[in-house]
Amino acid sequence: MYSTLSQDILFWRLAYELVRNYRFRVLKMSEQGELWLEQMEGKNKNIVRLLRYDIDWGNWLLHDIEQTEKVIRKYKEAPYRKKMNAYNIYISTYPPVDDWEHRLDRSIKTNMFLIVADNRENEVCAFFERLHLPEPNVDEWLIEDIDPAYYKQAIREIERQRNQSERVLLFGKKPRLTYIFVALNMIMFFLLELAGSSTDIVTLVYFGAKYNPAILDGEWWRFITPMLLHIGFAHLFMNTLALYYLGLSVERIYGSLRFFLIYILAGISGVTASFAFTDQVSAGASGAIFGLFGALLYFGIVYPSLFFRTMGMNVFAVLAINLAFGFIVPMVDNSAHIGGLIGGFLASAFVHLPKHKPLFFRQLSALFLLAIIIGATIAYGFLMNGS
């Protein structure tokens, strides 16, 4: 079946196979027969440009390759895309009438495929081999007398369903506890002010701030209570604002129960790190809030493509700024921040994401590691503070 129609079918069937079976995502789909597809699944990181166009002259092809390379270079400017493999696929009924291959740069040629009627089975199989995918039966694709529009519509439906699934992942749970924790922080702040002052050391210690001598005397509840206390209005405002935005995102993804466990375990991890590495009286929800960063990072490991397309770079930027601020400003308890970040990540790996297949080994390993880290940190704190 050497015809323009057969190449149309091949083009849309190839795109359909990549989208349906190998979880390529559509970046762009034009009515003129151009698709840009992206795959970010585990170690498979590829961008594929497919073009259905009957090419007459090699000059046109070389010019199009040059323009496509510019688009790919711009696309790969994002740090998480730098190592992606890029492929440029042309599907034409016949090759150009003039000589063009000797003018093509070898490095570009390795990832460029010109699929014409005479070579389509070999070239499609070579392309799949480059992607480390099973060899397809191209002839079988073309036996069925299916309108190319069927595959086009099927791709759109797959994308619609995936977008719906992604919205459920990001916004599927109704947040409740975030508002409760925000309210508790505000209530405790006003109680501190009424009792004396939120910046008064005696008042802070009385209400449960992290105070190493008291912990050494057996007041272990101080590994939890500092999460609800804040030193001054600016401290309360910044932490409450961060809790509100991060908490809503994490609770919508993980659900209220998982969010609660992540927040509490991250907060405890942060306070124990502060106990081990700093002597000053401290308080604040910062450790638990950094744990929410850890929860988003774990989500990014499970769903790297969705993470980077939505929040990833913002999460990394804000996290880096906050950690840098902690190292620059002496009064900031960065040990609590780092402890909370690690605790939140491991707690997220332990509770895992809702409606996902349990990963018992990973979950138990994360819980075991978190328990070891918290236990070792507390032991180190007793050793250092008791000496």
Catalytic residues: 286, 337
Closest by CA position to 152, among listed 2, 19, 3, 40: 19
For 38, list phi and psi in degrees, rounded to 5.
Answer: -130, 140
For 265, list phi and psi in degrees, rounded to 5.
Answer: -65, -40
For 150, list phi and psi in degrees, rounded to 5.
Answer: -60, -50
* H or E segment to which residue 314 belongs: helix 312-328
* H or E segment to which residue 112 belongs: strand 112-115
Q: What is the DSSP-derived secondary structure letter of residue 134?
A: P
C-alpha distances (whole Å) from 180 to each of 31, 128, 177, 292 are 50, 52, 5, 16
- Alpha-carbon span 191 to 185, nearest angstrom: 10
Q: How many helices (H) and strands (E) does the chain have?
A: 16, 5
- Asked if residue 48 lies in contact with residue 184, where contact means CB atoms within 8 angstroms, the answer is no
Closest by CA position to 306, among listed 169, 175, 205: 169
CA angle 240, 243, 246 (to 5 degrees): 150
- Alpha-carbon span 94 to 117, nearest angstrom: 6
For 95, list phi and psi in degrees, rounded to 5.
Answer: -75, 165
- Asked if residue 203 lies in contact with residue 189, where contact means CB atoms within 8 angstroms, the answer is no
Residue 357 burial by CB count (10 A; 0-12/13-18/19+): exposed, middle or buried? Answer: exposed
Per DSSP, what are the bridge partners of residue 39? Answer: 46
- Alpha-carbon span 309 to 116, nearest angstrom: 34
* Sequence-separated (6 or more) residues with CB below 8 Å from residue 259: 175, 177, 178, 247, 250, 251, 295
* Sequence-separated (6 or more) residues with CB below 8 Å from residue 67: none
